[in-house]
Structure 1
Amino acid sequence: MLLRILSVIFYILIIISCSSIPDQVDKKKFIDSDDNAFIFTSTTNLNLIINQDNYNGSYVVALPDYKRFSEFNNFFQLGMIQAIKDQGIENNIEFILQGEVNTSKIRENFLIGPVSKESVKKIDGLIPKDRALFLNEANKNFYISLGRGSQLNTLNKYLDSNEVSRVGIISDSTGDKDSEKIFKNSWFNGSRDIITIDSDPYIDSDSRIKNFLDVSESIGRFDKISKASFSSLEFIPRSRDDIKQILIFPKEATRLYELASLVRFNYGLDYEIIAITSELDDAIDQNEIGLHDISLIDHTYENRFGYDLNKSRSFCLGYDSMLLAYVISNGIQGEIRGLLGIYKIDSDSIEINSYIN
């Protein structure tokens, strides 16, 4: 009788242990969120998650014509190589032209790319979702891309996390009007507000910034008092305190520096100046950014090519495309931190959020 009881207990333990294995695997393949929601700390280390049962097929990378897009291809591939090295990826990698994608053959492997919007449209939905990562916007398959969407996601989340209800915007005539419009449409509701000042390189931006910061009248009164006084006076105007963040949507880096300097020069020392960078394509002057204390929403500049935007973005896109392809093909979900941004991945979608530098 005792032997029979022990046998029953033994089989129950076996059943329980077997039934718990899938849950353990699921937990290993889900990555929790990091507390640093907006700042780059490091990329996700997949070596700690993926075991010996990982995806063993090939990754097929569809890139644009090498001669026409040589710089992009070079730095993109350097990024991929870095990701392969960092993550210990041992799969075979094959490069093809984006116009040569054969969807029937891809089903046996994993496709990274294509880059062009037209090529993506042609094959969107023709490849199983867990077998492709496009590099331009798609409706049915997973994708990542270089664009304003991830930056505006971060801007909205950052302001929400700080419970901001009113922001200031310097709306420059030469700026990124599309991003500004999209942000305003998403921002306005019954309890949130925007104070906007229009600016233009060909008008007196200094006076407009003074009015925007509510220091014009104070400076005018001081000038009158100073002229009537026989002794020197010290004076620091108090700028408006109903906003703490000033947003700029530039298309040119030099104009960004100019507008930020006008804010600082006109006693706006305590404001947080935040800039969307999706339309910038020149190298960023790190000294100017530091001097005017500007927060840039973009990929992390802590990579091999730093503030050289064209090289840096291509490198980061290559790195993250390899990283995420490895993630998707191995069925991993949760939060993945790359160089372009932070990704929230589930079985249906990828949400991309840029970093604040």
Structure 2
Amino acid sequence: MKHLALLMIFQIGFLDCYLLRSFKQCQTQTSKEIFYASLPSSFCDKNFALPFYTPDVVGNYEPFPSPPPGGEKTIVLGAALKFDMIEYGMSMTTSDTIPLDRDVKDLREPGCKNWNYPSNLPSTSVVIAFHNEGLSVLIRTIVSVLNRSPTKVLKEIVLVDDFSNINEFPHLGSELEDWIKKTNKVRISRNKKREGLIVSKNLGVLQATGEVVVFLDAHCEVGLNWLPPLLTPILRDPATLTVPIVYPIDHTDFSSRSVYARSTKPIGIWEWGLLYKELHPVLAESQENLTSPYPSPLHAGGLIAFNKEYFLSVGGYDPGLKVWGGEQCELSFKIWMFCLVLEDMILG
């Protein structure tokens, strides 16, 4: 089961974007209103500048010049038969041959490049929880965040080590700590006992110092201009949880690809087994509409962004949850019941 779980989790890669919004209208004073009343004035920007779309002009946060495409297959003979495929659920033999700062394939809709976002985006902490993770995959995740996030916006990356076995995975000890010392925005905390993924994420939020917290898995790579689209709806409305669209990275050759048809906006849904599923309506709309944030009743879990105080005001994740699976329903249902905001976005 450990092997299967890791394989499933690793099918998360680059970010487009989406939001999740409650459709319910509340007639009495809502938890949302109570939350707003508790916020310092600095959280609600009265001078919020709306993002705007310029069809013939590249957006203000887009990298220039555009980096070369990456994310292609890396073939290492015999990699699929190595023991690390069982130990990590992915080929560390292959990962160790790939540059930590490799370029990524731009899988976004074309219109994503034409959005302009506010200059006063909130400070952001990225929280990454891990347990017995492969070193090169973990560091590549961190490097992608450092290299593709606006410097003035990214405040820190908080690593939460959920009691990894340093005797069996010594690379997560002094070798990882020595690498962290070479950075100026990465810090690590280590649980004194195994807490589980969900509790570890809660602990990461408590340690974060940014206005917004982003959860990422320890084995993903963020795409081009990934962060401003996630932060803008939260700047507009702090009671908003934003969720990225993700693409798979192959667990053997580390190639990336899109699993979504063009001109679709995937919507998160659930069935009675409480498994996350998606609908894929086809939208014959303009690129501006296609790449705008949109509502969805359920988020996928794993990768989300939210105002820190907002997350704490709804109680965070239930501490009774330990491992991956179920947290997406739990948090989405809370937002519905509290009449707060959960939106999907195609990250433009």
TM-score of the superposition, structure 1-length normalised?
0.26
Tell me which structure has the larger Cα radius of gyration: 1
Higher relative contact order (CA 8 A, sep 6+): 2
Name the one with the larger helix percent: 1
TM-score of the superposition, structure 2-length normalised?
0.26
